[in-house]
Amino acid sequence: MSASPTSFAPMKFGRFNLRLDAAARPLVMGILNVTPDSFSDGGRYNSLELAITHAEQMIAEGVDIIDIGGESTRPGSVSLSEEEELQRVMPVLYALRDCGKPLSVDTCKPRVMREAIIAGADMINDVNGFRAEGALRAVSDSDCGLCIMHMLGEPRSMQQNPQYGDVVGDVIAYFQERIGALEAAGIERRRLCIDPGFGFGKTLAHNLSLLRNLQQMQTTFALPLLAGLSRKTMIGNITGKPVEGRLAGSLGGALAAVAHGARIVRVHDVAETVDALAVWQAAMHNN
């Protein structure tokens, strides 16, 4: 059974204002990893030409936002230097900034945030929730959208026996603190969305509890929620499939997330997700 839809004013994504109201199709954020070691597609798009070709393919498939990532945050990954991350991300960002779609940069480093915003990024997607020293200063004077994600610990160790008292309550308390910090830095709420961070310091039981309670998290703050379940270990745990066999499970996860209220889904498989959401939208809304 789907959650009662929550409507939002258009969200500010830098040069764009994107509809997130209940009558609009949930937005599809396509993943563009320019890394050699991402858990799902590492090395496939880590040249400029291949990255641009993949972005063009996603645009043709109906993507709403392109999320560029230069550093893997898979469980067990080691942090990248600022210089190397910039060398991976900036050429792609410059090449795509006039593609007609909002560009998000997936980073937790303040310097990368600043450089990306100068280069035209429309959103900063931070797995660390803008907790790094200087992160709030890096984004406060811009008009780009900001995604606040929850992560327990750090990628190197986050999946080593993660524990919560109450995972939903703990994640809500985290968002309460982080949203307060961003607002105290003068950042408008219309620039914000939240992401519970599926797989970032969570067991399968934690992930499923969060998935079932997305609407509660979203309505608590009256902010749109972004969900990223695509090809993750939780999909593999449920289906028994390896990464390359998780398309159907990922589509099920995306539909479950939007049924529970998510307004943005972050995915690897854009065309299939756009089609699945179009059918879901037609079935659920008379528009």
Give per-residue pLDDT as tens, 44-80.
Answer: 555 888 999 999 999 999 999 999 999 887 766 677 8
Reply yes or no on whether the pLDDT at 38 is more than 60: no
Question: 11-284 in CATH: which number?
Answer: 3.20.20.20
What amino acid positions are annotated as catalytic residues? Answer: 232, 266
Question: Could you tell me the pTM of the whole model?
Answer: 0.92
The residue among 115, 119, 217 whose CA lies nearest residue 168 is: 217
Give per-residue pLDDT as tens, 238-257.
Answer: 999 999 999 999 999 999 99
pLDDT of amino acid 243:
94
For residue 194, with 0-12 CB atoms within 10 Å meaning exposed, 13-18 middle and 19 or more buried, which class applies?
A: buried
Contacts with 278 (C-beta within 8 Å, 6 or more apart), sequence order: 25
Domain boundaries, given as residue ranges, for the chain: 11-284
